[in-house]
Amino acid sequence: MIQAIYLYGSDVLRRVAEPVDINEKEATESLVKDLWDTLERSEGCGLAAPQIGVSKRVVVVDGDVMSDVYDYLKGFRRTLINPVIVEESGSFCEYNEGCLSVPGIYADVRRPEAITVEYYDETLTKRTEHFDKFACRMIQHELSHLDGVLFTDLVAPIRRKMIAKKLTNIAHGKVGTRYNSKIK
């Protein structure tokens, strides 16, 4: 079911999400379905459970929507349940990021170039996978949501000052989105 996406200023976006009890298979499947339905409707490339008001450690990413820019992402779709970064590269890179919960704002964010993540997939099978390039970026962005961190928290201080008024406007509902959204 398509859910509303919570916007900047919503308390749920600042909480550290709780692990999913993987024995609660039906509830987990329902949450994953809601995330995919909502992501597809919003035309984003990733979504974390806190963004739909559920403080659980689940994210979905869809590289297909970026495959016109990054052809290696064709067919790249992942569901990550209870993900844990077990290794990060020592090298970093900057990409321009945006977020469905922070509409209309884009900024360069510095993150590790590559990561290795342990997680459960949508079949609740435990996996360990290495990610690099833009796939790594999408996953790191979504995993930050699970720790109550938004990309705007990671930008250079001068850039943060430049976007402060826009963030305040979003928090006060002075923003339009092409998808169902709310602040709570």
Residues with a catalytic annotation lie at: 142
How many Å separate Cα 165 from the centre of its chain? Answer: 23
Residues 27 and 162: their CA atoms lie apart, in Å, by: 41
How many Å separate Cα 124 from the centre of its chain? Answer: 20
β-strands 102-112, 92-99 pairing: antiparallel
H/E stretch holding 28 reads helix 25-42
CB 83 within 8 A of CB 142: no
DSSP of 145-172, one letter per residue? HHTT--GGGGS-HHHHHHHHHHHHHHHT
**Residue 60 phi, psi (nearest 5):** -130, 145
